[in-house]
Amino acid sequence: MAEDPQKLLFRMQHIIPQKLVSAANVSHTEATASSSHDVPMDIEFRMTWGKVAAKAWGPHDGRPVFALHGWLDNAGTFDTLIPLLPKNLRIVAVDTAGHGLSDHYPPDIAYNFFDCLVAIERLAGLLKWEKFSLIGHSMGAAMSMLYAGVFPEKVDTLVCLDLARAEVTRPETVGYRLRKTVGKLLKYEAAIVAGPEKPFTYEVAVEKSINGSFGSLNRNACEVLFKRGLKQVDGGYVFRRDRRLMAAPLTLTPKEDQLAMAREVTANVLIIKFAQGPDFESRDNFMEHVENLKTKAKNVCFVEVDGAHHVHLTNPDRVASIISDFFIAPSSNPHTSVQS
């Protein structure tokens, strides 16, 4: 039987052997202590390039859920929320590459949004999860949305916090964005080669984090994120995250591509927009994405709550009951509602 021409062209372009399943030599280890919904357990996943760190909440045989944090944050972003969610969930909150306690990519390897697609696939395979749910905040929400469109048969529930998709790439800005990103990436690479980051005081770390979040973090939230995101060194503190992450990811995400993926999502979808969060696009464009999800998704619920970009961390009670109810009975939620 002749091979589909498009599939053949794809294999030729990417030089992918037909029977190759994964090139990664990966494994994972878990701490000996058992996890609960209030006390998480540390997990490490070994990849070919290094370590991916995570923390697991809930029973081993619970309903599987991945939790993905936002850009420059870490798995700690869910520390105050997860204990308020249903106790039957097995939630693995991941430090994506270059964030938190996970290793940085090797030199000369740039970060991009699509790394998460590969990471989720590898982690799901290691955990032997054939079907699971996704909870994502900000960048993690955008990547969860993309994954649910690329692998719709694997995702039963999708929860997006304050973002529904990656920032749309407009054709007229592509050249400028890529030039700027490449320039910043080379600048940060040169700084890394030149030597370690200059340490700063704990108070400066708090100030940097609050200012960098446009005020959506408070001191308590910073201290939660610092457990995985800040390292004490001689002379003060430095952030653990890879400095190259400060350059925008080398990724193009056109609107039509993202709408096409939205139309493939079959999961139950809950999108919670934070009223005082950043507006990366117009309300009309945002709602257009929500409407496209209704093409195949079982249920689509859009809710708006009062709060800034990290309200799930600073005031988890504002979203916990909404998420819990959706996991328990997604069909009972209206397609569009507003809560505050």
| pLDDT one-digit tens code per residue, 194-245 | 999 999 999 999 999 999 998 999 999 999 999 999 999 999 999 999 999 9
Residues 6+ apart with CB under 8 A from 236: 199, 200, 201, 202, 204
What 3-state class would DSSP assign to 116? helix
Active site residue 138: yes
Extended strands (E) in 148-235: 155-161, 230-233
Average pLDDT of span 239-255 = 88
- pLDDT attached to residue 13: 33
- Higher pLDDT, residue 237 or 23: 237
Residue at 158: amino acid letter: L
Please tell me the predicted confidence (pLDDT) of residue 15.
34
Query: What are 119-165's pLDDT values in tens digits?
Result: 999 999 999 999 999 999 999 999 999 999 999 999 999 999 999 98
Q: Is the Cα dihedral 249, 254, 259, 260 positive or negative?
A: negative
pTM above 0.85, yes or no: yes
φ/ψ of 75, rounded to 5, equals -60, -20
Q: What is residue 32's predicted lDDT score, i.e. its pLDDT?
A: 42
Candidates 138, 144, 209, 216; catalytic one: 138
Cα 166 to Cα 139: distance, rounded to the nearest angstrom: 7
Q: Are 62 and 92 in contact (CB under 8 A)?
A: no
What's the whole-number mean pLDDT along residues 2-8?
A: 45
pLDDT the model gives residue 253: 81
Quickly tell me which residue has 């005081």 as its tokens. 201
Query: 119: closest CA among 187, 156, 67, 79?
Result: 67
Per-residue pLDDT of 28-43, as tens digits, reads 555 444 556 678 999 9
Q: Long-range CB contacts (< 8 A, 24+ apart) of 206-209?
A: none
Which residue would you say has higher pLDDT here, 312 or 5?
312
- Please, what is the average pLDDT of the chain? 88
Report the range of poorest mean pLDDT among 21-30, 190-199, 237-246, 280-289: 21-30
Four-residue CA torsion sign, 200, 201, 207, 210: positive
CA distance 130 to 154: 6
State what percent of residues in the chain have pLDDT above 90.
Answer: 70
Question: pLDDT over 70 for what percent of the chain?
Answer: 86
Give all domains of the chain, ordered by start, each with its CATH number. 24-170+252-332 (3.40.50.1820), 183-246 (no CATH)
Strand, helix or coil for residue 239:
strand
